[in-house]
Each structure stands twice: as structure tokens, then as C-alpha cells.
């Protein structure tokens, strides 16, 4: 994420079903980059046309010893007070956007399945 990486998402926000952000968060030094990304993430999360679209963040590379933890990632992205829990969120309550952070390791094939299962419950056909 960084620069204008999120701009293409906003081409047709009225058609968005979910928002998904994958972060390569290996190592604590990545948190410095994440702090810059927070501004772009804030802009995306405040975009009115996407206000009720479920949002999932995947923090990758938890298999690396010094990778950021889920709590650190939530804190540095400014999401600590906004995550809604890893269970089912009442989507009928339009005042709450389902938002959650999941940690994963693509190399070890772990964690992302839980996240994808969580967000898939909010996809409307």
C-alpha cells in the first residue's frame, strides 16, 4: 500500500461488495511504512460511498520471527477501536461496518482462510 495504490479501487465504489487489504508486514521496520499508509487507509475508510462495505486487513508473514503482531498492526493502522470481532457482525445494523484484522502466512498456508471465510459471509450476490 502506499503512494496511490488504492486509487483504482475507487473507480466504481457503488459496486464494491468488500474491501480487502493485504499487508506484507514482515519485521518491525515495516511499521514505519504502515504509519504512512494509515493516512491513505483513513481516507479509504472515510469515503462515504464505501461506508457500509465490509473491510478486512490481512497481515502477512507471521512466519518471520520479528513480524508485527496483530495488536501492533491494529494499533499502527489506527483500527484498535474499530474492529468488530471475528464472529458474524449484524449486517442489518447499517451503523457498523464489519472490519477485522487477520494475521497470516501465505508461505505456511495459514490464517488467510479464516479471514476469507469471515469476509465471505458479507458478500451479497
**Per-residue confidence (pLDDT) for residue 34, from 0 to 100:** 56
Structural domains of the chain ordered from first start: 7-120 (3.40.50.300)
Cell for 92?
Answer: 442489518
Indicate the pLDDT class of residue 108, thresholds 50, 70 and 90. Answer: very high
**Per-residue confidence (pLDDT) for residue 4, from 0 to 100:** 44
Task: Tell me the pLDDT of the chain averaged across its residues.
Answer: 75
Lowest-confidence range among 28-37, 50-59, 86-95, 101-110?
Answer: 28-37
Assign 7 to helix, strand or coil: helix
Give the closest residue to 101 by CA, choosing from 88, 118, 89: 118
Amino acid at each position: 500500500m502506499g503512494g496511490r495504490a488504492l486509487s483504482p479501487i475507487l473507480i466504481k465504489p457503488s459496486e464494491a461488495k468488500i474491501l480487502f487489504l493485504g499487508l506484507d508486514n514482515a519485521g518491525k521496520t515495516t511499521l514505519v511504512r504502515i504509519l504512512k499508509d494509515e493516512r491513505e487507509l483513513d481516507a479509504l475508510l472515510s469515503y462515504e460511498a464505501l461506508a457500509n462495505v465490509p473491510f478486512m486487513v490481512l497481515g502477512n508473514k507471521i512466519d518471520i520471527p520479528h513480524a508485527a503482531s496483530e495488536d501492533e498492526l491494529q494499533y499502527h493502522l489506527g483500527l484498535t477501536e474499530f474492529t468488530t470481532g471475528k464472529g458474524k457482525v449484524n449486517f442489518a445494523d447499517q451503523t457498523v461496518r464489519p472490519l477485522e484484522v487477520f494475521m497470516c502466512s501465505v508461505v505456511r498456508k495459514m490464517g488467510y482462510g479464516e479471514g476469507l471465510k469471515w469476509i465471505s459471509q458479507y458478500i451479497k450476490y
